[in-house]
Amino acid sequence: MTRKRLCLLLIATLIIVTGALVWMLRTPASPFDNAAASSSPDLIQRGEYVARLSDCVACHSTPENAPFSGGLTMATPVGNIYTTNITPDRTSGIGRYSLADFDRAVRQGVAQDGHRLYPAMPFPSYQKLSDEDIRALYAFMMHGVQPASRQNQPSDIPWPLNMRWPLALWRAAFASGEPWQPAANRDERWNRGAYLVEGPGHCGSCHTPRGLAFNEKALDASSPDYLAGALLDGWYAPSLRGDAGSGISRWSEDDVVTFLKSGRNAHAVVFGSMTDAFNNSTQFMRDDDLRAIAHYLKSLPPGSNDSGHAWRYVQQSSQGASRRPGEQTFIARCSSCHGADGRGQAPWIPPLAGATSMQVDASSAINIVLNGSARVVTNGVLDAYRMPPYRKQLSDQETAEVLNYIRSSWGNSGAQTEAKAVAEMRQHTDPASINPIVLQMR
């Protein structure tokens, strides 16, 4: 009886494993299966706007190659991956994709040949795109983008970590949602803002903390983790919630709109990955959509990373001949632009007093001191102001000291930075990576 039970258990296990493999390797259904695609001028124009909302061009392009032809390096903890060619080229791009194939790739993370996409492609957010926006985006990609022959580059991830089939399990666990649905108890503006932020804008991809499986801990505002701030690729994407010390609680809705429309406001200037998002996406959004985003974000309460410590300006007392470590470096290198009082010259040069990067994780502050900031490009015009790199001028210790001075002045309450952290950032970053990517989509 024991052997018989063991055999039955093995058979049952085999059936379950086989069923699971079949399920994982199946081609998922799409609402567009057997549906015909359309391509009217109005639909193509709408699709171009959806592409701007979704910031497709920034990730699927490099300055030296055609728009949407891929090749951008994206670092992961297990190796580099490279974005793919999504032009309508029929050999190396997506020219042979049907509308259903396109939908599966964008919203479900499954390519035409059945392989699973890495979640660097933000399909956990794009799954919320409406059917209408998918139709429009497909029309634009197929008829509004020039085909470009450029072969895709395989990832650097070694075997067996590069196997794709486990990503089906990953999606089932962390990204098996449906298209976005409006909240009945919210007004039209809030719902539009929620759709843009949670869906095409995929703001959570950078601003939401990640779990052990590199999954976003939340995909909407029902969780305090959503948009609560996260470290990603050498930059700390700050909280977009009403956190007392590190969110946007001191920003008005107009401040949010101004920031997204012009790349700057009285509190901050775009930097890091947000520069690409501004240069290629948010400045092209309609004013009503920007106001909807601001309305939604300002409705969010403090999140899971909230310190509960509200910032307020504190006037620095004169130290005379006795100066704190880093103070002399600040006076010599920083004060001419950011002001001896740390208040900056808004909206062109941001204040350091009260800056989120001076209250939370120091990664962004270290990165920008070492490598400088990318140029903000508004309506095709390069910004005249740019944070220069101090990689060669300041040692690791000097960089740590000047940041510690800033992060403990004028009411700032950031934790102390060690020279070791500066050394590590110096090793893994390069000023060349700060160059802006600004591309015409067609």
Higher-scoring residue by pLDDT: 165, 230: 230
- What gap in Å lies between CA 15 and CA 266, rounded to an integer? 62
Domain match, 375 and 259 both: yes
60 is in an annotated binding site: yes
Q: Structural domain of residue 164, as residue ranges? A: 37-179
Decide if pLDDT at 123 tops 70: yes
The CATH number of residue 399's host domain is: 1.10.760.10
pLDDT bin (cut points 50, 70, 90) of residue 104 is: very high
Tokens of 120: 């660097």
Q: With respect to residue 68, please indicate whether it lies within any of the assigned structural domains.
A: yes
Domain match, 148 and 197 both: no
- Average pLDDT on 312-333 reads 84
Q: With respect to residue 4, please indicate whether it lies within any of the assigned structural domains.
A: no
Rounded to two decimals, the pTM is: 0.92
Which residue(s) pair with 210 in the sheet? 216
Q: Among candidates 170, 178, 172, 160, which has minimal Cα distance to 213?
A: 170
Q: With respect to residue 63, please indicate whether it lies within any of the assigned structural domains.
A: yes
- Mean pLDDT, the chain, as a whole number? 91
Domain match, 199 and 290 both: yes
Domain match, 174 and 215 both: no
Tokens of 299: 């409705």
- pLDDT score of 17: 57
Q: Given 179, 209, 239, which residue is the final one in a domain?
A: 179
Domain match, 221 and 172 both: no
334 is in an annotated binding site: yes
Domain match, 288 and 412 both: yes
At 53-92, the pLDDT tens digits run: 999 999 999 888 999 999 999 888 888 999 999 999 999 9
59 is in an annotated binding site: yes
- What gap in Å lies between CA 50 and CA 243, rounded to an integer? 30
At 197-235, the pLDDT tens digits run: 999 999 999 999 999 999 999 999 999 999 999 998 889
CA-CA-CA-CA torsion for 59, 63, 64, 70, nearest 10 degrees?
Answer: 10
Decide if pLDDT at 412 tops 80: yes
3-state helix, strand, coil in the chain (%, to 5): 40, 5, 55
Task: Give the total number of structural domains in the chain.
Answer: 2
Domain match, 139 and 214 both: no
Neighbours of 137 (CB within 10 A): 28
Q: With respect to residue 243, please indicate whether it lies within any of the assigned structural domains.
A: yes
Highest mean pLDDT: which of 4-8, 71-75, 231-235, 265-269?
A: 265-269
Domain match, 331 and 204 both: yes
- Least confident range from 142-146, 396-400, 428-432: namely 428-432
338 is in an annotated binding site: yes
The phi, psi pair for 253, rounded to 5°, reads: -60, -35
Domain match, 123 and 229 both: no
Say which residues have a Cβ less than 8 Å from residue 96's Cβ, sequence separation at least 6. Answer: 90, 112
Domain match, 293 and 356 both: yes
At 366-399, the pLDDT tens digits run: 999 999 988 888 888 888 788 999 999 999 999 9
Q: Given 124, 146, 179, which residue is the final one in a domain?
A: 179
- pLDDT score of 1: 62
Q: With respect to residue 117, please indicate whether it lies within any of the assigned structural domains.
A: yes
- Average pLDDT on 12-41 reads 76
Decide if pLDDT at 247 tops 70: yes
Domain match, 276 and 305 both: yes
Q: Given 133, 161, 179, which residue is the final one in a domain?
A: 179
